[in-house]
Every structure is written in C-alpha cells, then in structure tokens.
Amino acid sequence: MTVQLLLKSACLVLCSFFGLLALIVTGKCSYSPEPDQRRTLPPGWVSLGRLDPEEELGLTFALRQQNLEKLSEVVQAVSDPRSPLYGKYLTLEDVAELVRPSPLTLHTVQKWLLAAGARNCHSVTTQDFLTCWLNVRQAELLLPGAEFHRYVGGPAETRVVRSPYPYRLPQALASHVDFVGGLHRFPPTSSLRKRPESQVAETVGLHLGVTPSVIRERYNLTSRDVGSGTTNNSQACAQFLEQYFHNSDLAEFMRLFGGDFAHQASVTRVIGEQGRGRAGLEASLDVQYLMSAGANISTWVYSSPGRHEAQEPFLQWLLLLSNESALPQVHTVSYGDDEDSLSRAYIQRVNTEFMKAATRGLTLLFASGDSGAGCWSVSGRHQFRPSFPASSPYVTTVGGTSFQNPFRVTNEVVDYISGGGFSNVFPRPSYQEEAVAQFLSSSPHLPPSSYFNASGRAYPDVAALSDGYWVVSNSVPIPWVSGTSASTPVFGGLLSLINEHRILSGHPPLGFLNPRLYQKYGAGLFDVTRGCHESCLNEEVQGQGFCSGPGWDPVTGWGTPNFPALLKTLLNP
C-alpha cells in the first residue's frame, strides 16, 4: 500500500469518528497545526536518520482542561495574604475536580488514539495528560507532517527521538488537545560556567570561593538555623540535563564544608532513575547547595537519566506533579529555554501546570538564566530575548549576584550573567504592577524601548550569590563554579527553613510566594543597587542590558536574602 493510500485511509478513519456532519459534507479531513512549533534544529544536534517504521514511541497528549478562569481565581485567593482563603490550599483531588477535561474531550481523544492503534495508555490523577505507545508508522499517520528522526547532541552525546517538521491535528481534535509532547523540544544544555580561578595571596579575612559557611555568613544564618527533623517538611530539586549526582560526593561535600551546622548527608528519595558513570557538575551543585542552605531538611531529587528517547524530561516532571498527592513544599529548578523557541500553546499549558501547583501550596523556584537580557535579531533588528519558565507569572524566579570584593564577604553587586527582562508572552501580573512601573519610570539606564516589551511579566523576583562556588563532583572539589543554577537552590533552601518555622507555628507552607513578596516591597532582602547585566553586542546598547537600582529591578529582583529579617517578614500569618 502506498503512503498516499495509507494517509487517505487514516483520514477516512478519523473522519468517520470525528468529522461527523461537517466532514461528510465536504468529503475532506481537515487538519489544524499546533501554532508556532519549533522547526529549527538547536546547535550541537545531528540527525542519525529516520526511525524504523516499527520502532516503538511513547507520546504524551496534553488534553484541554476546564475552568481555567476559576483556577486563576483560586491561585490568587490562596496566595494573597489579604484574602480570607490565604493558605487554604487544594488537594490534588480538588485540583482534578476543577480542571479535569470534559467527558467529550476524554471520549473524543481516547477514540482517536484507539482507532490509530495506540496502546498501553496511562493517564494522571488530573486526567489532563495521556501517554500512549505507538510504532513510528502509526504515530506519523496519527500526526500528519511529523517525521521521526533519531538525534544525538549535547555534552553527554544524548540520543533523542524528535520530528524536524511540524505536525497537524485533525480539525475535530484541535479543541481537545493543547499539544503533543515528544516531537519538537530538545533537552536543554547546561549554562553553568566554571570561571577562571582568581589569583590572590592567602590573607586573614579572605575566602577563596563560595561555600556553605560563606553563604551562612553573608545571609546571617547561625548554627541553629537548620531543620528540626521533627516535621514532614521537605524540599526537592529537579534535573533535566541527563545528569545525576553521587551520594559519595554529597557525603564528601558535607565532610569538607558542613562541619559547623547540622545536616543530612544523603538524599531522602530519588524520583526516576539514577544512571551509572560520572556525576554531573550541575546535578552535584543543585543537591549540595539545596541541602546545605536548607540544612537538615528531607530532600527529594527528580532525576531524568534512563528515560525513553522520545520523552521530554521537563514534561515528565510536570506529569509527576499531576500524579502525586504528597509532594515536597519547595521545588528548585535550573531549567530554561528561549521563549521564542517554544510554541504559545506549549507555554500557556505549562503555565497552567504552574497554576495547579500554586493552588496546592507548592513553591516553585526557577533560575533566571545565565545570558543576561539575552539577544536575538527580529526582522533585522536586535531585541532582548526572555527565557521561559523564568518568565512565567506563577513561579518565583531567582537571579544572580557576586561579591563586590570577590574574596571578602561584602555587599553584593550584579553578576553580569544574571538573566532578567520582560516576557513577550505573558502580560505584567497585577502583583508586580507598582514595582515594575516604579522601575520603568525611575531607572536612569533604560535600554531603548524597542528592545523589550515593557508591559510583559518582568523577572527575576529575587536573587542570591551565583559566582565562585565550590562543588564536589566525582570525588574532586571543584572551585569557581558559577550560574543562577547555584543561586536558585540556595534561595530555595532558605525558604524551606522558613517553612519549617511556619509548620512548627501551626501555619501553612508559603506556597506561591510572589503576591506576598511584592506586597512587602522586598522586606527581608538585601537591596542590590550596583551593576548591569549583559545583552546584545552592538553599537546601540554595547553589550549592556538592564541595570540594578533601589527597589525592584529586572536584574536581581528585590534582592538577596537577609535570613533573620526574611523569616520575620514571612513567618506570620
């Protein structure tokens, strides 16, 4: 049978199920593409050719949810301290009842997939994701336009299965499916930097890089600022870089740097598979600094090695959040991609997943990125390039700083790599309206208005040290590791300590932090007022993006933590 006949027969099957009256009248099977699908191959990835038609694939279908306006209202009510519903979080079952796809959507999608030969389909508690297995021939008939290739790329020579071409959905399915995962989005690569080690003579009062003791000194933590070990408080980091950590590295890190505070020397739970071989630097960093900042608190790690080649690790993490009733209260994630490289449908749906997490009282922290304001060319003109999920209005985004004197525990200045800017997708949320308007009206160093969307969601929200960390990886202490992948777990660990105090005082965990953070005008944070981050290297801006200043700014947010003051600000109610 020719490909044309196969396509025609597949279309007839689809039309018989879903076209009903309209398609019978026209005699055609109409298709609708997911808009703005990524079609360009990321740098460093090479195709190894098309897959065998009989090879098996696992694809994830994001089903259209209900009551999204109501979901937004619930987020606002449970996250705003001025609301009578503040802290009255939903259970996973409550969320499922709210957003579960309609019976028509569930029935329509299931019949479409069964007609195509899909098997071993698994849903989640909220029923808004469905993962099914098909062979390549079936998948390409199901999603016309898709053509599955195997690619290899990234520092670890990772292999993935993706389609270089956009897919289309039958028109009758377009209103029931937000996107299909496992076709376009490639795994991210680490932006973590190991900067050259500075040369300095050993002198009393100097330090030779950021360690837990340096963090605790700068952010005013004492040896008593650790978890009690008596609550069900927990924290987590998620990793999507085909990396994993070694427990032996964590133990060695704590032996070298954790002697002056109580801590746990092993991870409580690993979700996913821990591969074999060398540990990854970023995975090691995440675990070691989350567990030393949030000391003596139960810690989970979401790990992606061992996944099937067609899976997207970040998407798999979102599915886990929609399928687990009991989760850690704080999640730190060092993951990001350029907003413009992702479809609007995908971005909006992921944003909805963050809203679901917020209704359950989860605190999600994302690194702001390590490219400053970013840069790309649109119709021959340069613009700044925002990052997602950093630009989501439903996560707390963490930027980066350096010590003013790199060898002393001093005031902080901007780390020039600290990601920040304004979303081109999400409008400015109401909680930050006043702060951002104040920055735009008072900053003496604003870039030209054509470079950024001044009405967009502005980020980051907060910051922490991101320069010059010591990390133990593969049994070797490594100095001068830098990136917002470092600042994010540090800030997350300190929020876990605050949750510990809240739980012991009978209060709910912090949940989605931003409304409260902006209402308090950054109280409890050190304001970072010196420095600018990097951007486009052209004559107009000459490599300079935004600059920090008093109050909130799109480089370091409200600033870095002063733990005793931040605890006082966030402890009650």
What is the spatial distance between Cα 110 and Cα 105, in angstroms, rounded to a whole number? 8
User: What is residue 347's three-state secondary structure?
Assistant: helix
Asked whether residue 19 is marked as a ligand-binding residue, the answer is no
Band the pLDDT of 6: cuts 50, 70, 90.
Answer: very low
Strand ranges (DSSP E) for 436-519? 456-459, 462-465, 469-473, 476-482
**What are the catalytic residues?**
282, 286, 485
Q: How many Cβ atoms sit within 10 Å of the Cβ of residue 25?
A: 9
Q: Residue 338 pLDDT more than 60?
A: yes
Summarize pLDDT for 228-269 with one digit per residue, the tens: 987 889 999 998 766 789 999 999 999 999 999 999 989 999
Query: In this structure, what are the phi and psi dihedrals at residue 18, rounded to the nearest 5 degrees?
Result: -120, -20
Strand ranges (DSSP E) for 313-442? 330-333, 337-338, 363-367, 376-378, 381-383, 387-388, 396-403, 412-414, 421-427
Locus of tokens 């937000």? 178
Which segment of 41-50, 230-239, 395-404 scores lowest on mean pLDDT? 41-50
Q: Is residue 167 within 8 Å of residue 145, measured between CB atoms?
A: yes
Q: Locate all alpha helices (DSSP H) within 57-197, ordered by sequence.
A: 68-79, 92-99, 103-115, 136-142
For residue 95, CA distances in Å to 66, 185, 488 come to 11, 27, 27
Most confident segment among 44-48, 276-280, 507-511: 507-511
Please give the helix or strand (H or E) that residue 181 lies within, else none: strand 177-181
Query: What pLDDT, on a 0 to 100 scale, did the predictor assign at position 293?
Result: 98
Query: What pLDDT, on a 0 to 100 scale, did the predictor assign at position 407?
Result: 87
Asked whether residue 524 is marked as a ligand-binding residue, the answer is no
Specify which residues 553 forms β-bridges with.
Answer: 557
Residues of the chain with pLDDT > 70, as a percent, come to 87
What is the spatial distance between Cα 485 and Cα 397, in angstroms, rounded to a whole number? 11
What is the spatial distance between Cα 169 and Cα 154, in angstroms, rounded to a whole number? 30
Summarize pLDDT for 52-66 with one digit per residue, the tens: 999 999 999 999 999
DSSP 354: H
User: 3-class secondary structure for 414-450?
Assistant: ECCCCCCEEEEEEECCHHHHHHHHHHHHHCCCCCCHH
Asked whether residue 528 is marked as a ligand-binding residue, the answer is yes
Strand ranges (DSSP E) for 265-329? 269-271, 298-302
Q: Residue 461 pLDDT more than 70?
A: yes
Structure tokens at 117: 């030969």
What is the spatial distance between Cα 93 and Cα 86, in angstroms, rounded to a whole number? 19
DSSP 404: S
For residue 277, CA distances in Å to 87, 274, 305 come to 43, 10, 11
Q: How many Cβ atoms sit within 10 Å of the Cβ of residue 35?
A: 11
The contacts of residue 277 (CB under 8 Å, 6+ apart) are: none
Asked whether residue 340 is marked as a ligand-binding residue, the answer is no
DSSP 210: B
Closest CA relative to residue 491, chosen from 402, 399, 394: 399
Summarize pLDDT for 182-217 with one digit per residue, the tens: 787 777 666 665 555 554 444 445 668 999 999 999
- Long-range contacts formed by 448-453: CB under 8 A, 24+ apart: 448/540, 448/541, 450/381, 450/383, 451/373, 451/382, 451/383, 451/384, 451/535, 451/536, 451/541, 452/373, 452/383, 452/384, 452/421, 452/422, 453/422, 453/423, 453/424
Summarize pLDDT for 100-142 with one digit per residue, the tens: 999 999 999 999 999 999 999 999 999 999 999 999 999 999 9
